[in-house]
Every structure is written in structure tokens, then in C-alpha cells.
Chain A
Amino acid sequence: MNRDTELIKKLKNPELKNEAFKDLLDLYQERLYWHIRKIVITHDNANDVLQETFIRIFRGMDSFKEKSSLHTWMYKIAYNESLRFIEKNKLQTSVSIEQDHNTYIKNLTQDEFFNGNELQLKFNEIISKLPSKQQRVFQMKYFDDLSFREISDLLDISENTLKSAYYTAVKTIEDNILAEC
């Protein structure tokens, strides 16, 4: 029995659920936070969405049918919760929603927990200018370390399309960085 299967079993047991949920937080809290942070950009917003995400995970555990892995299921909740947050607050922080990299950069630089130098800010600008699909795939693959299969489950896009989008994004970023140097 692998770790996630054992965790799911405990999470569905009312007597063990609370303790198992603490383990779940230890395992996935940071991963989901960074996944959310790159979508909603600022730390405060990411904190709000992270809490909502785990509340949904806790309450929705009984209805988790295990059609996907626990890992993918939680990322999907975090991703949907992030998009819901943006829609609810009508934020223009995500280029995948508004296609506005200027707003992305504005929100990023106004966040008190952004301490990036010129190079890091440039990297953010390059990412924010990528088309929506390429941006998401690149972030999930490069920063979140998800597999193409998992990203495919999350975004409901074929693996081949995702691979193509990812490699195109990498090439674009490399070209932009080289052009700056």
C-alpha cells in the first residue's frame, strides 16, 4: 500500500481523519501554496486561496472517488479555487484570464513579499507574456514539477499538445533571455 492510498484510507475514516489531515497538510501545503501563488501572484491572496483549498479538500474527501490520484485531485481543487478567486475578485493578476502582463507585473511588484532583482523581474515579465496555455504548462512543469500526464488531467488537454506547448514556451523564454544578454 503506497503512502497516498494509506492516507486516503485514513482520511475517509472518521476516527482517523483529523490526524491524517495533519499529515496531508505537512505533505502538500507548500506544494499547493506555490502552485496557487503563481496564479494569484500576491502572498496574501495565495494564503486566502490556500486555506479555502484545504477546507474544500477536507470537506470533499468523502466524495473523492479516487478516479485520479490524490495528488492530482488536490492540485485540481487548488487550480479551480485560484481561478474562482480571480473571477470573484475580478483581479487582473493572471494573464491566463486577462492576457494582461502589465497587470501581472504591477501586482507582483506591489506585493510586499516580492523581493526580486532585475533579472528575476525580467523572468516574470517573459513568463507573463507567454500565451495562456504555454504559461500554465511551463509553470506546472518547471516549478511545480508535475508530469505531463498530471497536467493533462488538470487542464483537460492532451499530453502531446501539452508537450508541444511546453517546449515552445521553453524556447521562447531562452530566446528572450539571450536577447537581453
Chain B
Amino acid sequence: MKKLKLHKEDLSRLHKDKLGMDIPEDFFAKSKENILNKVIEPETPKQTVFWLRPIIAYPIAASIILAIAITFWMKNNPSEIKNQMSNTEAIKLISPDLLESDFLIASLMVSDSEMNDYLDRYLIKNVVIEAELSEQQLENIFINSVLIEDSLINHYLDKSLIENIVL
């Protein structure tokens, strides 16, 4: 190890006495401070924005990703409805297999007007038309029964008439 023979004061005095080189007052103290300020970063606590903290940010990010995924899925799945089908038509197509909860989630992605439109059409198809069909069927049964009864009576009358005439 190098033995430091000259002290600091000796160095400054030597250069001043022999070479006439001087330094400002308190130069080394100020220089030390400047160097330390440049190399040592102050330890300040990191300030994070409240809503960027992980406990807040992660659930928000997850919700956004889920919403995007559902929207994307609604638009592109199943493959048969790729041809720019409206949300209402998509729901109508897949609704028979949907659970109630699925339908509720899906309904959140559809505008109110579209949902009303869909419900109107659903009611017309499944309630009104089916009711009409049921009524028509009953009427047909009634008419058939009437026709059958008439034919039976006619048949009976014809048969009785022939028997009476022949006999």
C-alpha cells in the first residue's frame, strides 16, 4: 500500500510555495459537496398515483380486458354469425343455450333499443304466434270433428234410407 507521506496541508503549501498555484477558500469542502450531489442520488420515497397502485390497477385492468374479450366474443362467435350480424340477432341465435346469468351478462353489452326490439320479436314469435297456432289447431280439431260427425250421420242416414227402401 502506498504510504501517504505528505499531508493535505503539505500538498497545498508545496504547490503554493513552489509553483504559486492557489485555490479558493473552502474549495475542497465545496467541491466534495458538489461531487457527492452528482453521484449520490437523494433517497426520496417513491410517490405513486393512488389509482396506479397494484391493488387498484389490477382489478381495473382485469375488468377492461374481460369487457373487451366479451365484446370480441360477441362479435365473432359462433363462426356462423361472422357476416356482420347485429347483437340482437346474435343473442337470438345463441339464446336457447344460454343460462340466465349468461343472458344477463350478454344483455349488458346490447343497447336498450336493440334489447327492446329483440324482446318484442321474441314475444311475437313465441307467445302470440304460438298462441295463434294453438287456437288454429283447436279450431281445426273442432271443424274436423264436426265434419266427421256430419259424414257419420250422413253415412248412417244413407245406410238407413237404403235399408228402409230396400226392405
Q: Which residues of A contact B (CB under 8 A)?
A: 2-5, 18, 21-22, 25-27, 29-31, 33-34, 37-38, 43, 47, 50-51, 54-55, 58-59, 69, 71-72, 113-117, 120-121, 123-124, 143, 145-147, 150
Q: Contacts A51-B31, A114-B22; is A25 near B5 (CB within 8 Å)?
A: no
Q: List 22 A-B contacts (CB under 8 A).
A: A4-B1, A21-B39, A25-B32, A29-B28, A29-B35, A30-B28, A43-B21, A43-B22, A43-B24, A47-B31, A51-B35, A55-B38, A59-B39, A69-B2, A72-B2, A113-B21, A114-B22, A143-B14, A143-B15, A145-B4, A146-B2, A150-B2
State the B residues within 8 Å of A (CB): 1-2, 4-6, 8, 11-12, 14-24, 27-28, 31-32, 34-36, 38-40
- The minimal Cβ–Cβ distance linking B18 to chain A, given in whole angstroms, is 6
Is A25 a contact partner of B36 (Cβ separation < 8 A)? Answer: yes
Query: Of the candidates B1, B21, B23, B39, which one forms a contact with A58 in the assembled complex, judged by CB atoms under 8 Å apart?
Result: B39
Chain B's nearest CB lies how many Å from the CB of A92?
18
- With A69-B2, A113-B24 known as contacts, the answer to whether A25 contacts B35 (CB < 8 A) is yes
Q: Give bound CA distance, A124 to B19, whole Å.
A: 6
Q: Judging by beta carbons under 8 Å apart, are B38 and A124 in contact?
A: no
CB nearest to B7 among chain A residues: A30
Considering the complex, give the chain B residue whose CB is closest to the CB of A113: B22
Contact present for B40 and A143 (CB under 8 Å): no
Main secondary structure on A side of the interface with B:
helix
Say whether B34 contacts A43, CB under 8 Å: no
Q: How far is the CA of A31 from the CA of B11 in the complex (A)?
A: 7
A127 to B22, CA, bound (A): 18
In the bound complex, residues from chain B placing their C-beta under 8 Å from that of A124 are 19-20
Q: B31 near A29 (CB under 8 angstroms)?
A: yes
Q: A148 → chain B, closest Cβ, in Å? A: 12
Chain B nearest CB: distance from A60 CB in Å? 11
Instruction: Say whether A113 contacts B23, CB under 8 Å.
Output: yes
Residues of B with C-beta under 8 A to A146: 2
Task: Give Cα distance in the complex from A145 to B6, angstroms.
Answer: 7
Contacts of A30 in B (CB 8 A): 8, 11-12, 28
Contacts of A37 in B (CB 8 A): 15, 21
Report yes or no: A71 in contact with B24, Cβ–Cβ below 8 A: no
- Write the nearest CB–CB distance from A110 to chain B, whole angstroms: 13
Set of chain B residues within 8 Å of A26, measured between Cβ atoms: 32
CB contacts (< 8 Å) of B20 on chain A: these are 114-117, 120-121, 124
List of 6 A-B pairs having minimum Cβ-Cβ separation, nearest first: A116-B20, A120-B20, A58-B39, A71-B2, A30-B8, A113-B22
Inside 8 A of B2's CB, which chain A residues have their CB?
A: 4, 69, 71-72, 146-147, 150
A43 to chain B: closest residue by CB: B23
Q: How far is the CA of A50 from the CA of B28 in the complex (A)?
A: 11
Interchain CA distance A50-B17 in the complex, whole Å:
22
- Known interface pairs A43-B23, A113-B22, A143-B15. Does A55 touch B31 (Cβ–Cβ under 8 Å)? no
Contact pick for A55, options B15, B19, B32, B35, CB 8 Å: B35
Write out the residue numbers on chain B whose beta carbons fall within 8 Å of the beta carbon of A54: 35, 39
